[in-house]
Amino acid sequence: MKWTVERIRTLCREFCGKCDVDFNVPIIINKRMKETLGLCHAIYDEAEGWLPTMLEFSQQLLEFGTDASVTAIIGHECAHFLTLVFTHEDHGHDEVFKHFCSLIDITNDGTQTEIEYTVSPDRLYKYTFYCTKCGGFVGGQHYTCDRVKNYQLYMSDCCQADIELRRNW
């Protein structure tokens, strides 16, 4: 089933309902987000502190991520939303944030979440790197950078072998 704003909003209401909070901010799907998968935006009010203003999600994640991965990211951002609603402070990924993750049954593994995609990395990145020994996927890049220009200087973690660069455009 496709991830729409309404489907995301329904899931957010379900997560926030576990803490008796009405989910009431806009949801934005951003096609330019590639590295960041989700964001909880907030503004600072002199009288009230930090207040959540919207949740934003990567279109690439929503299109190509597995349902379990997308649900985990949405839950993660809802935990940020709930933290702001209850504390009016930015807690990042500290113990307060982790407490809200546990209240809504979301596993928090910090800022690094392994995402499972339903397509090959060649569809996700402009440049992909593969191990020349085992052929395994090493990483990807959305734009030209030093890693792309000088890929010959790097070695794969899996086999400590040279890296092959593939241009996917």
Q: How far apart are CA 67 and CA 118, in angstroms?
A: 10
Average pLDDT over residues 41-46: 94
Whether pLDDT at 86 is above 70: yes
The mean pLDDT value for 16-42 works out to 94
Which CATH superfamily includes the segment(s) 5-103?
A: Metalloproteases ("zincins"), catalytic domain (3.30.2010.10)
Encoded amino acid at 166, one letter: R
Positions of E strands within 16-116: 27-30, 38-45, 49-58
The predicted-structure confidence for 107-161, as pLDDT tens digits, reads as follows 865 444 556 666 677 777 889 999 999 998 888 888 888 888 998 999 999 999 9
CB 37 within 8 A of CB 62: no
pLDDT for the residue numbered 112: 44
Residues of the chain with CATH 3.30.2010.10: 5-103
User: 35: which residues sit within 8 A by CB, 6+ positions away?
Assistant: 142
